[in-house]
Amino acid sequence: MHLIKFTLLDFIDIIIVSFIFYQILRFIKGTRAIQMVIGLAFVILFALVANMWQLQGLKWIVDGVKTIWIVAFVIVFQPEIRRALTNIGRTRLVRFFLRETREETIDELVKSTKTLSDRGLGSLIVIKRRVGLKGYLETGKSLEAKISSDLIVTIFSPYSPLHDGAVVVDGDIIIGAGCILPLSLNPSLDVSVGTRHRAAIGITEETDAVVIVVSHETREISFAHKGKLIRGMDTVTLKRNLEKAMRY
């Protein structure tokens, strides 16, 4: 009996294919795509039966369906596919090669912070790093918007329904607004540290995120990281700290 030769490349091939199918299943779970996949499974089953029993009529129908299936899938599930590609673009491996995008994001953050400070608009901007912020995102409104200084300033304008909470940024995307952050209970904090700044410190105590804070009273720019608050920043120092924090 001829034995099948199993090599290291075969093992790697199996791992890669398994990973791809796992990611596809994670992507379609809880979406409309699961119904499409079930339908595709039936088409494949019919194709196998038709080829096995040489059912010419059924083979003709299945071949016709297979011709339009991929096009229909792309059209119907365009939002889901776009979201999946966006998530791929947020991975650390991809972002390592997108230094230019990171620089643009930092520039938009610095520009928006200066505008907010000049106008005396209080704000909290959380920049996500490695640790997920899902629990905090659920307290606000989910967004999927390309970061821009104009959008951030609009969110924190007094008449905006989301201006009291925090904006959360992941890469070059604003993923949440109006989010509620945990307040720091550190007893050593100065009594002059207000609620907005305590919230900035609190989120950095529980996660590895960094936070930009603008005081609506003093127009002071602060930067929170690892439970510490650096106050009285100018835009040059802020940009330097953001570059260091986002270089992960």
Q: pLDDT tens for residues 7-38?
A: 888 788 888 888 877 776 666 665 555 666 66
d(CA 233, CA 225): 14
- CB-CB contact of 211 with 226 (8 Å): no
Question: In the predicted model, is pLDDT for residue 212 greater than 90?
Answer: yes
d(CA 124, CA 140): 13
- CB-CB contact of 221 with 119 (8 Å): no
- CB-CB contact of 109 with 223 (8 Å): no
d(CA 167, CA 156): 9
- CB-CB contact of 120 with 156 (8 Å): no
49-93 pLDDT, tens digit each: 767 777 777 667 666 666 666 666 666 666 666 666 666 655 555
Q: What pLDDT does 186 receive?
A: 85
- Location of structure tokens 């106050």: 231
Span of 22-31, 101-110, 117-126 with lowest mean pLDDT: 22-31
Average pLDDT of every residue of the chain: 81
Residues in the chain: 248
How do 141-146 and 173-179 pair as beta strands?
antiparallel
CA distances from 202 to 134, 198, 224, 241, 246 (A): 16, 6, 9, 19, 19
3 state SS of 194: coil
Higher-scoring residue by pLDDT: 220, 99 = 220
All structural domains of the chain: 8-89 (no CATH), 99-245 (3.40.1700.10)
Higher-scoring residue by pLDDT: 119, 144 = 119
pLDDT grade for 99, boundaries at 50, 70 and 90: low
3 state SS of 14: helix
- CB-CB contact of 181 with 203 (8 Å): yes
d(CA 225, CA 242): 10
